[in-house]
Amino acid sequence: MSASRVVVVGGGVIGCMTAFYLTRAGVRDVVVVERDHVASGASGFSAGILTPYSGSNDAGLLGLSAASLALHAELAKELPEVTGIDHGYDLKPYLRCGFGEVGLDSARQFLADRRAEGLDGEWLSGEEAREVCDWLSAEVAGACMTSVEPTVDSRLLTRSALGAAEMVGTSVQVGEVVGLAGSGGTVTGVELSDGGVVEGDAVVIAMGPWSNMAGEWLGFDLPVHPQKGELLYMHLPESDAGGVEQDRPSATMHNMDEGGVILTRRLSRTVLGATKEDGVGYDREPSSYAWEFILPKVQRLADRISKADVTDHTACLRPMPADGKPYVGKAPSWENVFVAAGHWSEGVHYAPLTGKIVADLVTSGESDVDYSAIDVARLAV
């Protein structure tokens, strides 16, 4: 099909990246409808690590990782030149550290799995790991080191992708979508809570953890549910020039025995994470649980961390799919409705590839990417 006007429901990284790739595919009239503001959800508060290894580790999903990482590398060059926004793309070592038998075995297995996929990795003794990153405590006995997981500032990435799309005709409309306009499996736009209609030749559902609400409009269950995630942020001494933190960790550190990550990012504060809480509904308020859960785990990694170093605390909702994989593609039984939902904790990672796939489908009806592993059509079976 061809569409001259596309409505994207959701102003997170998935929706904004879809708008960007729609404009790349020649669509000049894209409307992003957002209830709050752009990147107001998980896209504005994520850790920003481009890793496929925080969710289900499904083989079909992992098979799409390299293609999305390649797009991220292209965007790291292209978007700042177009929009003037540096979204902090950076690649540093990732140390998955073990203290005892459980953690060391997990780190070794992770290394074996990555090598089986053809990726480089190295096993380090505790002493060797501390030479890579002097933050590590003497308790670390060994670590798997890889350099395949870049970091970004996801809020800036989202805004930059949207900014590039706006330069060629995309617009943002604030409003709460409550239904689809049209009939007989063909939409003519979306209905808003104030009674208005945003017209379009195609509609993309990219509502993050609220995507399950679209199931009622679509006539089938879209099993995406919220999972609460909280992060803590460290304050480090700033340099004299530019307010950039000194003594940043030179690698991301992961406690493989108990969980807990210390994540270094080029443009923003060092991140301590992260919680994964199910069954809390749509509660996005930071809680004391994050301090209780995160701090002991990261302090074991780096004993220089104290509660006094933590200056900020955020919470967001991840869109968790029922089977661990996103739902992407043309909605079953619909002619011109497309879904891009359920990316869990890996939405930033897979956003460029998702945006490209959906843009391909909207504009030409097919994609050169084999996305069968995440095709929303599996919900019709």
How far apart are alpha carbons 353 and 126 in whole angstroms?
37
Contact 318, 345 (CB under 8 A): yes
Rounded to the nearest 5 percent, the helix, strand and coil shares of the chain are 35, 25, 40
pTM score of the predicted model: 0.95
Question: Tokens representing 123?
Answer: 């096993």
Contact 347, 320 (CB under 8 A): no
CA distances (Å), 162 to each of 84, 120, 216, 268, 285, in order? 13, 34, 28, 21, 27
How far apart are alpha carbons 212 and 314 in whole angstroms?
24
Contact 140, 258 (CB under 8 A): no
Question: Tens place of pLDDT for every residue, the chain, 381 residues?
Answer: 568 999 999 999 999 999 999 999 999 999 999 999 999 999 999 999 999 998 778 888 999 999 999 999 999 999 999 999 999 999 999 999 999 999 999 999 999 999 998 999 999 999 999 999 999 999 999 999 999 999 999 999 999 999 999 999 999 999 999 999 998 899 999 999 999 999 999 999 999 999 999 999 999 999 999 999 999 999 776 544 455 555 789 999 999 999 999 999 998 889 999 999 999 999 999 999 999 999 999 999 998 898 888 989 999 999 999 999 999 999 999 999 999 999 999 999 999 999 999 999 999 999 999 999 999 999 986
Q: Which domains does the chain have, with CATH numbers?
A: 5-85+154-223+323-380 (3.50.50.60), 94-146+226-321 (3.30.9.10)
Which residues contact residue 171 at a Cβ distance below 8 angstroms, ignoring those fewer than 6 apart? 30, 31, 32
Contact 44, 154 (CB under 8 A): yes
